[in-house]
Structure 1
């Protein structure tokens, strides 16, 4: 087994929230006066970093906490309508059955995260949720410390470039999924330790049942 602790991101990694995000983003843009996202913008933004996205949308830094709080409130009202990706529950169950500890790090609230996870919530031993001024790297460090495991036996899995950067800052391995928000090429350009094209690939890599894709791998 390669890893004894897996730290998952939620939206775009375990939960299929992209459609929800698209429905609510432009209403939020109107409310907080930043640039709306046109249909033609979506693919371009999937290749951008978090900072590049904020710059393109012309979001002033002081509005970010207000926007994040508003989106969390919307999710609280609509969390039950955001499904897990097909196969996620099985994958999580496979990892837990092999004594892999599962944790979740998200900017969403823990209550929303628990509702989205449904019955799979019982498989998780730790949650570090809600916004943090120190970002995901600090959350990763807290989870690893609470678990009391060797950082070399920990992997963080997410769908955005910032997830890769945060894992590296925290000194743990990083895995990137290609079915979420960021484009596969944008993720691959940052050379994560693992690239996952299918949900079942996660259990195979964590349990060392199959060779991992080399860093930077992106299937054409």
Structure 2
């Protein structure tokens, strides 16, 4: 049975917290929202994402339009974007083991494609993006329909509470990575099936799973 691994991008493959904060504050200043300071991040990452926006007075209905502006600014900072240590090795090891790798992200797919091309990584079956903060479960279900898969054939790798919630709705397991954005205090009650503290641990979990994905 073919193995399909779905990856989040920001906070899972790349450490984009710094450039995300920079882009967020540029857009926020333009729109009149309060500045987000780096010293506020630890507290913010312990809150669900809706609470974060509510804290800064950002209406959820405006998020799609704000996301478009955010990623325009994000693109200007791509030279500062870095893989987390060990990510390229993880991707190559999983690809060589026969896993089919796909990115499912809220980021602009062109940003992700260009970043991967710049780093000479062409290991992905598909790169799927959306400017919606929520709704990854719909993207995952669409992917399963297009690829003619059942939930037991997929595992998602992500770093946020909303990733876990989307996987629960889609009926697929998730490996939550602790080195990303959301704090463990926030996600522990959501019940991710697996927890990895490094990219190497993601590989170890995949290799050791008693899961139909690996049969």
Both structures adopt the same fold (TM-score exceeding 0.5): yes
**Which residue number in structure 2 is paired with residue 217 of structure 1?**
none
Partner of 1:189: helix, strand, or coil? helix
Is the contact between residue 151 and residue 171 of structure 1 (CA under 8 Å) also seen in structure 2? yes
TM, length-normalised to structure 2: 0.89
CA contact (8 A) 1:8 1:102 kept: yes
Q: Is the 8 A contact 2:134 2:162 kept in 1?
A: no
In structure 2, the partner of 1:156 is: 156
Alpha carbons 1:80, 1:116 under 8 Å: kept:
no
Q: Note if contact 2:50-2:60 (Cα within 8 Å) is conserved in structure 1.
A: no
1:103-122 Cα deviation digits (max 9, x unpaired): 10112211100122244641
Structure-2 change in CA distance of 1:77 and 1:26 (3 Å): closer
How many angstroms apart in 1 are the aligned matches of 2:157 and 2:209?
18
Query: Offset at 1:131?
Result: 1.6
Which residue number in structure 2 is paired with residue 74 of structure 1?
A: 73
Find the counterpart in structure 1 of residue 42 from structure 2: 43
Segment of structure 1 superposing worse, 19-28 or 170-179: 19-28
What is the distance in 2 between the residues matched to 1:182 and 1:124? Answer: 25
For each residue in 1:66-111, what CA deviation from the matched residue of structure 2 results, as whole angstroms up to 9, or x when unmatched? 2100111122233243111111010011111111111101122111
Mark the runs of 5 or more structure 2 residues left unpaired by the alignment.
Answer: 211-215
- Worse-superposed segment, 63-72 or 164-173: 63-72
Equivalent residue runs for 1:185-204 within 5 Å = 185-204=185-204
Q: Which residue of 2 aligns with 1:102?
A: 101
Task: Tell me what 1:143 maps to.
Answer: 143
Q: Secondary structure at the match of 1:172?
A: coil
**Residue in 2 that maps onto 1:23:** 22
Moved over 6 A (4+): none
Say if 2:133 is the partner of 1:168. Answer: no
Contact residue 176 and residue 196 of structure 1 kept, 8 A: yes
Question: CA separation of 1:78/1:37 partners in 2, compared to 1, >3 Å: closer, same or farther?
Answer: closer
> Quick one: distance in 1 between partners of 2:154 and 2:209?
17
The offset of 1:36, in angstroms, is 2.0
SS in 1 for 2:166: helix
| Structure 2 CA distance for partners of 1:90 and 1:75, relative to 1, 3 Å | same
**Count, aligned residues:** 209
Shift of 1:192: 0.2
Unaligned runs of 5+ in 1: 211-220
Distance 1:108 1:141, change over 3 A: same
SS of aligned partner of 1:54 = helix
Q: Which residue in 1 is equivalent to 2:213?
A: none
